[in-house]
Structure 1
Amino acid sequence: MTTVNDLLNLLILEKVDDCKFNGVSETVGSPVVFGGQVLAQAVNAASRTITNQRVLHSLHAYFLEAGNLNTSITYTVNKVRDGGSFSVRRVTAIQNEVPIFILAASFHKAEEGYDHQIEMKSNLKQPEDLLSWTDMLKKWGDILPKDLKAFFEINRPIEFKPTEIVNPFDRKNLPPYSDVWFKLKGDINGLNLSKKQQVLTYISDYNLLISALNPHAKIADWTNTLTASLDHSMWFFREFDFSDWLLFSMESPSASRARGFARGNIFTRDGKLIASVAQEGLMRPLN
């Protein structure tokens, strides 16, 4: 995948009936299905059963089994409730008759109410002054660790620019924070809010656990630690578009018992908070 159109083709599922949909997978460099893909495809399935113009405001999901990249995924939607203001859907993703993922999603009618938000970090480096993953590959590809180089070589429909570049050869513990700018590649015109939320859901599973690994970087990295998303929650607050860079600001309050917890906020460049994310992931040291 190289553009947002490729990503949308992946996320928009084949309809089997009113509550059942099929999807295929694309690798992001891992031997199993990327969690963000399953999340976003499940949101696509749930959204396809909403006929009253309600908008997704929250989702909560559990990853049950690793997905097989070479096997299609069937998403079955249960219409849990259509109330006066909210509609709730439950989605189960199945491969080879085995549930690999479950999602609960809630949709809300348009209403007016109170409005406040936290502030975005100030004095962050701007995207124009930073290197992207693609830039890092071009600049340091010959000396990068082979696993990191292979990860950067995967074509993606998103460009990522971390505000701080960590030297993989400088083994030292880091603060439990991470800030990454991101932007879609290709033509982003004509995306409705539902499609934008699905794309944002896909992106939200990138980078989160970095903040949980940072405090252990002296001894831990992606090659000696088994990592996997265990659960994922997301809340959508405000309308947005992908015409400019967005900031994913992440932190990890805790890691213990082979699990790391991370949460993050997604802002527009001018500081509007559009979504928040929380995730616990497996962080199992390998012998």
Structure 2
Amino acid sequence: MSASVVVDPDSPPAPAVTVGTVAVVAHRKKNLGGGLDDLRATLVGAGVRDMLWYEVPKSRKAPKKIRKALDRGADLVFVWGGDGMVQRCADTLAGSRTPMAILPAGTANLFAGNLGIPEDLPEAVRIGLHGRRRRLDLGRLNGEHFAVMAGAGFDGDLIREADRELKGRLGRLAYVWTGLRHVRGELTRTRITVDGGTWFDGEASCVLVGNVGTITGGIPAFDDARPDSGSLEIGVSTAGGAVDWARTLGKMATGRSENSKFVRITRGRRAKVRFGEPKTYELDGGARGTARKLKVRAVPAALTVCLPASEPEGSR
């Protein structure tokens, strides 16, 4: 999968960071390369001497370790895991000046993939230690930051139902399969205001908000999204039932979501969503429960991220 996002090379870089104390916050159940032992050896081999090391069994345990690393003066934080782990860590690091380096060890590594960070341990470590530092945007939904996307309705139900093993084997097709088999995608009265004005008011089955182009399931949904634009892509689907969703998911899975008659997309800095009934919502592939109201906004330059020295091949 080629990266769908390019960070503007002319956008202001974050202040230079001298790597001193390096922290590793790792989801111990995830794997990349030779595993965590290999990571430690690679960092030591690269000359890292002052290292803080934290392992967690679940991504929701990571914020406490991030805060501990910051309290102990970490100058750089390596995050080992997938998008859920990255989201939890990004939410805690947001607003700080400490850079985050991503080690894409999860089932879904969409934020890393969008930024051109490979699933290659030595190269990902090199990017963390010597790559560009850029201040990138995050989204914020109901008080919690996200890096890739957020969704509610059909998308939230789909995330809740998708089997982890199936996602690992089939990637984006797992979401199509799960959606068509288990999720009904019922239409619900939905009102969306964007930057203070009503943008959508009608029956809808799904609302998506993207910070980058390729979203959960590896589906390229927002062609024009950029994580340094200061805005978010906002989409709504009016697909109802298996036939409509089969057509919609098929177009999204092949990168043509804008061609679906059941999809509308716009861009904005702030949005409010009100549903006629509680809907499951998710952040970066992690279900969060149900809500009738969603408040979302872009948080410009919220997070310093370590990026490759050059733009990923195939990017626009």
TM-score by length of 2: 0.29
Higher RCO (CA < 8 A, seq sep 6+) = 2
TM-score by length of 1: 0.31
